Structure 1
Amino acid sequence: MPKVFGFAGFSGVGKTTLIEKLLPILIGKGIRVSVIKHAHHDFDIDIPGKDSYRHRAAGAHEVLITANKRWVLMHELRNEVEPTLEEQLGRLSPCDLVIVEGFKRVEFPKIEIWREANGKPMLYPQDPNIVAVACDAEIDCKGLPLLPLNHPVTIAEFIVKRFLND
């Protein structure tokens, strides 16, 4: 199994933006990284009217689209229970590190992203799985490492030391 860690925080704090900045830094260090993004709503990556959409709408259990640059497998849950994070990890190709965005209630190590301007409470006091806080201000994290949110190189270094240097 690859090393797994995630980013937790309320909507609008910059989780996706930070991950987008971290990926080229980590990949530049020779780390093969995959990402799992948990969505809390009924999302769709398909386009109505396209062949794959029509196949799913007609009842296909899975539709795999493949081309010379990428492929995607869409699996319709229909009346099945949403897979766990562990089950989804088992579907990924081999890699060194999996970054998880979301699944904030699942137990695995996370970095909380917090912005005072967002007006939401911090998660770390109630979540023992948070191992650091990335923030755009100086705050007291009660002994947890405080990482500068706007300095992705520092956050990447923390990730490498904490999750990949065993």
Structure 2
Amino acid sequence: MEEAAPAPAFAVCGWSGSGKTTLLERVIPRLVARGLAVAVVKHDAHGVSLDRSGKDSDRLFRAGADVCLRGPGEVAWRRRPAPATELTAVVAALARDHDLVLVEGHKATPLPKVWLAHPEDAALPPGVGQVVARLPWG
């Protein structure tokens, strides 16, 4: 049996405050309305924080347990070691269950990307490649 091709993935990149999240907030509902299952990998240079320090679930995680935060209609996992931390592995894992994987941030990723910038920021930073579109934003 032939395996299905992985879901397409692309990145939306730009400096902080360039409008990445705002653009995705506007595009994602349109994609979902067309019946697509969409996943987003959000870059957080400061580290992932699902909990507030000192809350019960944070205390349990710091004690050494994997923790599932469960609420009405959603779940979030904190696991160690994380099942996948490299961007390519995370995208591949999400691609199995989604029609499209969007990556917010990760400027240096080899994925094709849309670059958002203020009109005065004409130059791309070093190491940024695979830009298929540049959008003035902000």
TM-score of the aligned structures, taking structure 1 as reference length: 0.69
Change (3 A) 1:126 1:73: closer
- Count how many residue pairs are aligned between Structure 1 and Structure 2: 131
Which segments of structure 1 move beyond 6 Å, counting only runs of 4 or more? none
1:7 aligns with 2:12: yes
Q: Which has the higher contact order (CA 8 A, sep 6+)?
A: 2
Partner of residue 42 from structure 1, selected from 41, 47, 66? 47
Which whole-Å CA distance do the structure 2 matches of 1:91 and 1:72 have between them?
16
Shift of 1:127: 3.5
| Equivalent residue number for residue 84 of structure 1 | 86
| Equivalent residue number for residue 132 of structure 2 | 131
Please identify which structure carries the higher helix content: 1
1:72 aligns with 2:73: no
What fraction of aligned residue pairs are identical, expressed as a percent?
33
Which whole-Å CA distance do the structure 2 matches of 1:56 and 1:100 have between them?
27
| Equivalent residue number for residue 116 of structure 2 | 113
Which whole-Å CA distance do the structure 2 matches of 1:125 and 1:53 have between them?
38
Shift of 1:120: 4.1
Which whole-Å CA distance do the structure 2 matches of 1:46 and 1:9 have between them?
27
Shift of 1:26: 1.2
Change (3 A) 1:115 1:69: same
TM-score of the aligned structures, taking structure 2 as reference length: 0.81
1:20-54: per-residue Cα shift (whole Å, max 9, x none)? Answer: 11111111122111100011113412023322111
Change (3 A) 1:125 1:50: closer
- AA of the residue aligned to 1:87: A
- AA of the residue aligned to 1:89: V
- AA of the residue aligned to 2:131: I
Which whole-Å CA distance do the structure 2 matches of 1:12 and 1:107 have between them?
22
**What secondary structure sits across from 1:91 in the alignment?**
helix
**What secondary structure sits across from 1:64 in the alignment?**
strand
